[in-house]
A = this chain, B = another copy of it.
Amino acid sequence: MRFFLGLDGGGTKTACALCDEDGLIVGFSVGGPSNHLSLARGEEALREALRDVVEDAFSRAGIGRPRLSAACLALAGVGLDGRSPVAARVACEVVPADDIVLENDAVAALVGATAKDWGVVVISGTGSIAVGIDREGRRARAGGWGYLIGDEGSGYDIGRRGLTAVARAHDGRGNYTILVEKALAHYRLDTLDGLRSVLYRSETKAKDIASFAPLVVAAACEGDAASVDILQTAGRELGLSAVAVVKALGLEDEEFDVAPCGSVFKAGQLVVGPFRSELLRAAPSARIVSPRFPAVIGALMIALRRSGRVVDGAVLSNMARGCLECGLPVGDVGEATCEGKD
């Protein structure tokens, strides 16, 4: 029996899955962060993180430590061209495989979410990015510039706009919003004068700001005009990033899948509505699909295909079963489309 490895490594955690040639998942593990660009000790930290999570996956699989036919490591610190000398060196040391593919993590997210080898993915969590691949394998990205100058439509962006609305309302530069009350409660403050010291004394600023995004969603659900506007703007921005990818690849007149992934889309129609409008205006035949598999399974698919294995319906249903057993989120394996949760 041949075995394959898929790995999805980001700034927060790393997931690793092993499967056989029929797509049956035999081992799964989750470890610490593995973006070597953001880790203090860089290459050394990446080596440790990958070694730990891969060893863990092997020991859970109970298949010994066979040499793998192929492995795909999808890492946040790898460019869209799959190149990273550091990650390539570490991967060869840590993963015992005949063939190792390095990928950007968004590419694995795209393959997993669409269960295809081409299409568009728009990811919006703390940060945001859109990545597309066409039938010929050409790639394009938009967004992903980080919280300082980009990440439009992300949780960070939504949180920042929410807190800015609070500051403006407090000064009298902007209209009142119930976000003022929500900010006071969230940060456990008596007055907003304490907000500066709360925000600027912390180290993990981007995540702190993003943690305010769910309160913007809650306020929007209560009808707060400022919050509704922030979420609709986020949706449009995410749509714009998808459109930029579509245009770069010349997909305007094609039928293709677009998978919206990440926590921000869980806000539902307030985000998904403007996202869809913006996208369909430029690409009327685009299909917005609910994400089917997580990125770690996308990485497995890439590894299987690399070794010549066709990822057919039988493989996909084995993978779906494996995901359920491992507690991994898995969408409808049919041709479901996502209209957002209202």
Contact = CB atoms under 8 A, between A and B. Distances in A.
Interface of A: 37-38, 79, 141-146, 148-150, 152, 160, 163-164, 166-167, 171-173, 193, 195-197, 199-200, 205, 209, 240-241, 243-244, 247-248
Most chain B beta carbons < 10 A, residue from A37, A196, A197, A205:
A196
A166 B152 CA distance: 14
Given A37-B197, A79-B193, A197-B37, A160 B148 contact: yes
Given A172-B247, A172-B248, A167 B196 contact: no
Contact of A205 (B148, B163, B199): B148
A216 to B, nearest CB: 13
B171 A209 contact: no
Contact of A149 (B142, B148, B150, B163): B163
Contact of A244 (B148, B163, B173): B173
Given A172-B244, A172-B248, A244-B173, A167 B150 contact: yes
A199 B244 contact: no
Contacts of A143: 171, 173
12 contacts: A37-B197, A143-B171, A143-B173, A145-B167, A145-B196, A146-B199, A149-B160, A149-B164, A149-B167, A152-B173, A171-B244, A173-B241
A148 B193 contact: no
Contacts of A149: 160, 163-164, 166-167, 195, 199, 209
A267 B171 CA distance: 26
Given A241-B173, A247-B172, A195 B163 contact: no
A20 to B, nearest CB: 38
A150 B172 contact: no
Given A148-B205, A149-B160, A173-B241, 20 more contacts: A141-B171, A143-B173, A144-B196, A145-B167, A145-B195, A146-B199, A146-B200, A148-B160, A148-B163, A148-B199, A149-B163, A149-B166, A149-B199, A150-B164, A150-B167, A152-B173, A171-B241, A172-B247, A173-B240, A173-B244
A247 B143 CA distance: 39
A165 to B, nearest CB: 9
Contacts of A167: 145, 149-150
Given A148-B200, A167-B150, A199-B149, A173 B79 contact: no
Nearest to A150: B167
A251 to B, nearest CB: 13
A55 B200 CA distance: 32
Contacts of A166: 149
Contacts of A240: 173
Contacts of A142: 171-173
Contacts of A150: 164, 167
